[in-house]
Amino acid sequence: MVTVGNLSIYFGSRELFSRVGFFIGPRDRIGLVGKNGAGKSTLLKTLAGLQKPNEGSVAFAKGTTVGYLPQEMHHQENATVYEEARTAFAEVQRLNSRMDELTEAISNHPDYTSDDYSNKLEELEEVAHRLELLGSGNIEEKIEKVLKGLGFKSSDMTRKMHEFSGGWKMRVELGKILLQNPDLLLLDEPTNHLDIESIEWLEEFLVDYNGAIVLISHDRTFLDNVTNRTIEISKAKIYDYRFSYSKYLVQRQDEIDKQEQAARNQQKYIEDTEKLIEKFRAKNSKASFAQSLIKKLDKLEKVEVDDFDGTKVRIQLQPAPHAGKVILEGHKLGKAYGHLRLFEGLDLQINRGEKIALVGKNGVGKSTLIRMIMKIEQHEGEFVPGYSVSVGYYAQNQSDELDGNKTVFETIDDEAVGEIRKSVRAILGSFLFSGDDVDKKVKVLSGGEKARLAFCKLLLQPYNFLVLDEPTNHLDLASKEVLKQALQKYDGTMLVVSHDRDFLNGLTDIVYEIQPDRMKIWQGDVLDFLKEKKADSIALFERNKVEKKAEAAQKLEATKPVEVSREDAKEQEKLKKKLQTQLQKIEREIEEAEKNIAALDVKVAAIDYSDAAASTKVLDEYASAKSKLDGLYEQWEQVSSEIN
């Protein structure tokens, strides 16, 4: 479907990609991974046609459509959510208008034998086929289904875009792309700003999606659940694996271990050979032998060990000072912004040693509750702190609170007191700031670097109660894993807001779910909570299904059966036989089409991508065959439904 051939991209003297190539098939689910700055977002932009390569090409099969979700986007601020989502169907609306024009022109055409009439008929057929591919029916239903899946309520549909935060606007953009149903989805951090329930909905949607997907994500569970292929970008090269992320990690580490062992063996061979050369070099009778050994070493191809992001943050939390049994109590807590009430009458009690995940849908007030605890936000009700409680707080925008004009070293040195000041450089080194990095101004750091520095600053003091609001934002997969390991060893009390299921799993043992009128407490980790929630949803679904069945039965009972005459029965039997014959014919055509695709699969696997014309021809043939098979399946379903 998409062929990347000999792609090279460089910025000045820095080479981002060097003659890389790969193929994206019609149902591929690819996760792009690599260090921050490796070129993941640049590769997505190149596939989307927004970034031109310095060398090489990106070739698409004929008719391939692409949907791209960037990290930053623009919207019509005065449009309603529904109106903005409906722009996804701009092509459908244009085609419908053209179909109306063609239908009228054909109906009123003065000459049915002219070329113009034939051309209009042909165009009308093409427009109808394109509309069928786009799935132009039930637009309103599709818009509502996708937007509700992404967390919007019915009342949100008529609200203006400017009333929503950047995260909610991103959801609208994501919804538009999903509604367009492109052949290739390019998603750059699609789970940013989504709550856990919306992430799970998006996972299910993408698993069933009919096209190909290439995505960047720092959510390990999301990668594992959605992708079946991983492309690692490292040092201008790519490494392509037919596995999801977790399996790729195991395979990649195994390769690195073998390379390192081979390198050690080779180094030992070199050292042993050099000893022999040194031993025989001075002897006339062995000089020629020594010379042959030298030539062997000169021809020896050195074993290279791939760079596999082995550098990790090394975080160690200080022991938690002693505190009382109760860390914090909250009584009749409430919060409203004007007419918008987030919650009211909430009670909570946090005990010493508890590790709590604070969850709930976006907009329910998780971060607001955290700011209330930290006395940043005014509220109803009261908090009663426990005995000798010291709080360490990491805000969502913690990195934005850093002084941009200070250097990395000054940021930590100004906070450090006592003996720890002697270890500032060592502490910074454990967070991957070393050498000239410590003299950089904070304002020139990347988002991930600022997040690491903010954590480094937080951990200078010993706390017995950590309050963390989205602590994994901007952290790469490796740094998140190290942070999780450090927090698992922490012996104090912890309250964490996060939408990252992999991060929370095994880290927390209690889940607080904020609901508008209460705080619901679930014992167990976040996966237990999600299983229970899904069970609740299924139970509700089953109750609704039973009610609908009962309602349908009542309607059926109220309807009198219609007598069918013998003539009508014969006509129906005749029609049924005709449909069965038609169905058998379609089934034979499907069998032939599947054989054709199986043969084309072999051709695709053997493509020589250096021959662009030949590879494009094969891929177009494959896409055409797939389209034909999809059409036959639709015909089969339609005829089957008519028979039944």
CATH of the domain at 605: 1.10.287
Tokens of 341: 């009430």
* Final residue before a domain boundary, out of 248, 269, 288: 248
pLDDT band at 32 (very low <50, low <70, confident <90, very high): very high
Q: Is the pLDDT of residue 438 over 80?
A: yes
Mark whether 330 and 361 lie in a shared domain.
yes
Q: Is the pLDDT of residue 467 over 90?
A: yes
The residue length of the chain stands at 644
User: Which residues on neighbouring strands pair with residue 5, listed in sequence order?
Assistant: 57
Mark whether 436 and 371 lie in a shared domain.
yes
CA dihedral defined by 259, 265, 268, 274, rounded to 10 degrees? -90
Which domain covers residue 606, as residue numbers? 566-643
Give pLDDT, residue 352.
92
Q: In angstroms, what CA-CA distances link 131 with 64, 138, 361, 633? A: 15, 12, 36, 17
Position 506 in a domain: yes
CA triplet 514, 518, 522: central angle to 5 degrees? 60
Q: Is the pLDDT of residue 548 over 80?
A: no
Give pLDDT, residue 326.
92
Range in 47-51, 240-244, 518-522 the model is least confident about: 518-522
Helices H / strands E in the chain, number of each: 19, 18
pLDDT band at 325 (very low <50, low <70, confident <90, very high): very high
* Final residue before a domain boundary, out of 517, 532, 547: 532
The residue among 213 and 478 whose pLDDT is bigger is: 213
Range in 224-233, 298-307, 540-549, 603-612 the model is least confident about: 540-549
Position 560 in a domain: no
Distance between CA atoms of residues 420 and 459, nearest Å: 11
Q: How many domains does the chain have?
A: 4
DSSP letters for 265-331: HHHHHHHHHHHHHHHHTT-GGGHHHHHHHHHHHHHPPPPPPP----------PPPPPP--SEEEEEE
Give pLDDT, residue 357.
92
CA triplet 574, 578, 583: central angle to 5 degrees? 145
Mean pLDDT of 403-411: 86
Q: In angstroms, what CA-CA distances link 277 with 203, 263, 267, 302? A: 62, 21, 15, 19
Please name the residues in contact with 619: beta carbons below 8 A apart, sequence gap of 6 or more: 1, 3, 59, 61, 604, 607
Distance between CA atoms of residues 217 and 199, nearest Å: 12
What single-letter amino acid sits at 362? N
pLDDT per residue over 364-406, tens digit each? 888 889 999 999 888 889 999 999 999 988 887 766 778 888 8
Tokens of 103: 């239908």
pLDDT band at 602 (very low <50, low <70, confident <90, very high): low
Position 319 in a domain: no
Tokens of 576: 């049924």
Position 539 in a domain: no
Mark whether 115 and 88 lie in a shared domain.
yes
Range in 108-117, 469-478, 536-545 the model is least confident about: 536-545
Nearest CA to 184 out of 61, 56, 40 is that of 61
Distance between CA atoms of residues 192 and 219, nearest Å: 9
Mean pLDDT of 196-225: 88
Q: Is the pLDDT of residue 506 over 60?
A: yes
Give pLDDT, residue 307.
66
Distance between CA atoms of residues 89 and 93, nearest Å: 6
Mark whether 278 and 240 lie in a shared domain.
no
Position 360 in a domain: yes
pLDDT band at 212 (very low <50, low <70, confident <90, very high): very high
Mark whether 81 and 207 lie in a shared domain.
yes
Q: What is the mean pLDDT of the chain?
A: 81
Mark whether 180 and 280 lie in a shared domain.
no
pLDDT band at 314 (very low <50, low <70, confident <90, very high): low
Distance between CA atoms of residues 591 and 94, nearest Å: 36
Give pLDDT, residue 279.
78
Give pLDDT, residue 445.
79
Mark whether 573 and 634 lie in a shared domain.
yes
Give pLDDT, residue 351.
93
Q: Is the pLDDT of residue 613 over 70?
A: no
Mark whether 28 and 164 lie in a shared domain.
yes
Mark whether 471 and 620 lie in a shared domain.
no
Give pLDDT, residue 619.
64
The residue among 167 and 455 whose pLDDT is bigger is: 455
Please name the residues in contact with 244: beta carbons below 8 A apart, sequence gap of 6 or more: 31, 223, 224, 225, 227, 228, 229, 230
What 3-state class would DSSP assign to 397? coil
Range in 287-296, 320-329, 483-492 the model is least confident about: 287-296
Mark whether 222 and 291 lie in a shared domain.
no
First-last CA distance in the chain: 37
Give pLDDT, residue 394.
87
Q: Is the pLDDT of residue 496 over 90?
A: yes
Position 115 in a domain: yes
The residue among 293 and 22 whose pLDDT is bigger is: 22
Give pLDDT, residue 355.
94
Nearest CA to 244 out of 195, 206, 297, 192 is that of 206
Position 550 in a domain: no
Q: Which helix (H) or strand (E) holds 366?
A: helix 366-373
Whether the Cβ atoms of residue 9 and residue 16 lie closer than 8 Å to each other: yes
Mark whether 342 and 462 lie in a shared domain.
yes
Which CATH number belongs to the domain containing residue 221 in this structure?
3.40.50.300
Mark whether 347 and 491 lie in a shared domain.
yes
Position 307 in a domain: no
